């Protein structure tokens, strides 16, 4: 992306507020740029990129504990119009992002307690304008009121649930309209199941680590634009997911775009997957 009217600013050190941002970023043709939650200042690399893009607007995801007021002030001083989308917690923030996104009759429901499942489905949700609503992970947790209210107000008629009953409980599932659960035995198998069950293109895949969220988060909008899926993989040799290797073999996939450096996606592990 050479130019962008709007940029999305999210915390690169913690995942919750940014998880639901991909569909909004795709709608606005806006890149997701990260700033450090450990440092209250806007990172220099992010500042440079905003200038290169010629952005005039910024949308901050999350409250001041995620993206500081100093960052907001810096953006304003760069002559950007700044809007913050933030609730009192990650669940309300996700619902507010869904409201910003606009009309749809479908929603994705994912755990707000961990990031892999939401990231794996983010390109599909983004490309199709489907909001990602979060619910608290755990086998007994009910659907939170924020997600429930969005479903009612937007008249959502069907939902995709990502992850098993340990991450999105049966109680939450049963409270949803026409729910369809997509789940594997772990985060890697779930990312494969998303590709298979949603019949996503497999002529090429974006690959990201399943151990961190930043690379897949920022890459999700790019993947959506390319009508591609994100495949999550591990970073330890000889521990490759059987589901992952089977997916690659079944579809004879030989084109991969890797998100992140060797420390995120180990070249040896990637080579072993491709060669299989």
Q: What is the tens place of the pLDDT at every residue in 88-100?
A: 999 999 999 999 9
pLDDT value of position 267? 80
Average pLDDT, the chain: 92
Gap between the Cα atoms of 272 and 276, Å rounded: 6
Gap between the Cα atoms of 79 and 57, Å rounded: 9
**Exposed/middle/buried for residue 75 (C-beta within 10 Å: 0-12, 13-18, 19+):** buried
pLDDT value of position 237? 55
> In percent, how much of the chain has pLDDT > 70?
96
**Residue 151 neighbours by CB distance under 10 Å:** 22
pLDDT per residue as tens digits for the range 213-245: 888 999 999 999 999 999 999 876 545 678 998
pLDDT value of position 67? 93
Query: What is the average pLDDT across 253-261?
Result: 90
pLDDT value of position 240? 61
Gap between the Cα atoms of 70 and 233, Å rounded: 36
Secondary structure, 3-state, the chain: CCCCCEEEEEECCCCHHHCCCHHHHHHCCCCEEEECCCCCCCCHHHHHHHHHHCCCEEEEECCCCCCCHHHHHHHHHCCCEEEEECCCCHHHHHHHHHHHHCCCCEEEEEECCCCHHHHHHHHHHHHCCCCEEEECCCCCCCCCHHHHHHHHHCCCCEEEEECCCCCCCHHHHHCCCCEEEECCCCHHHHHHHHHHHCCCCCCCEEEEECCCCHHHHHHHHHHHHCCCEEEEECCCCCCCCHHHHHHHHHHCCCCEEECCCCCCCCHHHHHHHHHC
Of 242, 181, 229, 173, the C-alpha closest to 201 is: 229
- pLDDT greater at residue 39 or residue 133: 133
Model pTM above 0.85 = yes
Inter-CA distances, 192 with 45, 159, 200, 212, Å: 33, 19, 10, 17
Phi first, then psi: what are they for 36, rounded to 5°? -80, 135
Q: Could you identify the residue written with the tokens 């290169």?
A: 52
pLDDT value of position 62? 93
Inter-CA distances, 140 with 107, 167, 168, 171, 179, Å: 21, 10, 9, 7, 17
pLDDT value of position 18? 85
> In percent, how much of the chain has pLDDT > 90?
76
Residue 128's Cα: distance from chain center in Å?
Answer: 14
pLDDT per residue as tens digits for the range 131-152: 999 999 999 999 999 999 999 9
Residue 113: pLDDT band (50, 70, 90) is: very high
Inter-CA distances, 203 with 17, 209, 213, 265, 268, Å: 31, 20, 24, 20, 22
pLDDT per residue as tens digits for the range 152-210: 999 999 999 999 999 999 999 999 999 999 999 999 999 999 999 999 999 999 999 99
Phi first, then psi: what are they for 136, rounded to 5°? -70, 130
- pLDDT greater at residue 214 or residue 272: 214
pLDDT per residue as tens digits for the range 77-87: 999 999 999 99
- pLDDT greater at residue 126 or residue 267: 126
Query: What is the average pLDDT across 119-128?
Result: 96
């Amino acid at each position: 992306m050479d130019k962008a009217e709007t940029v999305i600013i999210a915390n690169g050190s913690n995942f919750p507020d940014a998880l639901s941002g991909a569909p909004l970023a795709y709608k606005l043709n806006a890149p997701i740029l990260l700033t450090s939650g450990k440092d209250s200042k806007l990172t220099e690399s992010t500042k440079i990129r905003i200038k290169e893009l010629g952005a005039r607007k910024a949308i901050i995801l999350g409250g001041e504990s995620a993206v500081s007021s100093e960052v907001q002030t810096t953006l304003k001083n760069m002559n950007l119009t700044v809007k913050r989308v933030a609730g009192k917690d990650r669940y309300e923030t996700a619902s507010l992002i869904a409201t910003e996104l606009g009309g749809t009759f479908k929603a994705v429901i994912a755990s707000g307690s961990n990031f892999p499942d939401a990231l794996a489905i983010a390109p599909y949700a983004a490309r199709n304008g489907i909001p990602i609503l979060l619910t608290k992970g755990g086998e007994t947790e009910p659907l939170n009121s924020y997600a429930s209210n969005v479903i009612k107000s937007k008249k959502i008629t069907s939902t995709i649930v990502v992850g098993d009953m340990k991450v999105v409980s049966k109680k939450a599932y049963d409270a949803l309209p026409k729910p369809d659960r997509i789940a594997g035995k772990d985060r890697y198998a779930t990312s494969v199941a998303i590709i298979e069950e949603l019949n996503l293109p497999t002529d090429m895949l974006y690959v990201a680590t399943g151990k961190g969220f930043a690379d897949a988060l920022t890459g999700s909008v790019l993947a959506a634009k390319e009508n591609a899926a994100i495949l999550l993989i591990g970073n330890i040799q000889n521990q490759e997911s059987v589901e992952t290797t089977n997916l690659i073999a079944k579809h004879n996939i030989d084109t991969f775009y890797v998100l992140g450096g060797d420390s995120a996606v180990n070249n040896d592990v990637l080579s072993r997957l491709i060669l299989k």
